[in-house]
Amino acid sequence: MPVPHLLLALAVVAVWGTNFVVIRLGLDAFAPSTFAALRYTLSCLPLLFFVPRPALGWGRLAAFGVLIGVGQFGLLFRAMQGDISPGLASLVIQAQVFFTIALSALLYREHLRRLQWPAFALAVGGLAVVALHVSRGGGAVTATGVGLVLLAAACWAGGNLVARSAGRVNALGFIVWSSPFAAVPLWLITLAQDGPAAVGASLAHAGAMAWGAAAWQAVGNTLFGYGAWNWLLVRHGAATVTPTALLVPVFGMAASALALGEGLPAWKVAAALLVMAGLAINVLATRPRA
């Protein structure tokens, strides 16, 4: 991956990693489905009236919207409401890397290069260090929370492949026009679960911080994050792009330490170094040959 593309990928994962703190703030004011519905409503309105629809069938737009909006974030927000801590969620969601590469190998015959095997081994080792310490009391988690986030990771992997199959279309248009397919079912889910009165009350009483969190979900994470991510996926193999998301927990832990006062003991630093070493080797392994 060229250096400018790598820097773009790193900017995306930095936004995604720090977003786990923002999600926690938003869930203090909104129910999970309401928060997710707001994210995708703000992602398509009013841009839907100004951004041209990409030259794609409705099926791909709908598939991406449902997989990423309802599947990934609907499940992730539900898990983070009380079944998993932000730091652990940022770790477990990275199972999408392995789901994506496995699906790409199955569907597109992508093969790992020799150096990528030790790269992934180092990265998995770093994630295993975090998981081991969290399981010993490093954060509140339930089996339901882990299961929901793993399902969310699988949905993210499916969305990655849909985005890749769309080809080189306008990235912003793809996100904007797929967002209604997430927003509509999410509003139906939250109205069915919580009732119109409760949903209306949460919207009426939300403060500036809650609305800021919702706006950041749309602008930073959806329009920029997924727009840039999809742009990278159609230009590079999934095995090249998706491993950069292994840095999400590093940014997530750092943001939690600064914003929530969580500590950074030696084992967390060691885990971060393992993940970054794996990323560095993967970048070397996937550099285009002259």
User: Residues 148-167: pLDDT tens digits?
Assistant: 988 999 999 999 899 888 87
The yes-or-no verdict on residue 239 having pLDDT over 60 is yes
pTM over 0.85: no
**Confidence tier at 263 by pLDDT (50, 70, 90):** low
In three-state secondary structure terms, 267 is helix
Is 280 part of any domain?
no
Give the number of domains in the chain: 1
The structure tokens listed for 34 are 């309401």
How many Cβ atoms sit within 10 Å of the Cβ of residue 264? 13
In a domain, 221, yes or no: yes
Rounded to 10 degrees, the C-alpha dihedral 190/192/197/198 comes to -40
pLDDT, residue 99, reads 80
- C-alpha atoms less than 13 angstroms from C-alpha of 264 in its C-beta half-sphere: 17
* Residue 227 included in any domain: yes
- Residue 180: pLDDT above 90? yes
The DSSP secondary-structure symbol of 142 reads -
Mean pLDDT value of segment 9-23: 89
**Which range of residues forms the domain containing residue 26?**
3-114+142-263
Q: Of 237, 227, 276, give the one whose Cα is nearest residue 254.
A: 276
User: Is 127 part of any domain?
Assistant: no
Whether 186 is covered by a domain: the verdict is yes
Examine residue 44 and state whether it is found in any structural domain, yes or no.
yes
For residue 17, CA distances in Å to 56, 136, 210, 286 come to 30, 23, 18, 23
Residue 81, φ and ψ in degrees, nearest 5: -65, -25
Residue 202 has pLDDT above 80, yes or no: yes
Closest residue by Cα to residue 176 from 19, 87, 49, 27? 49
Q: Is residue 175 part of a domain?
A: yes
| Cα-only R_g, the chain | 18
Residue 248 has pLDDT above 90, yes or no: no
45 vs 119, more confident: 45
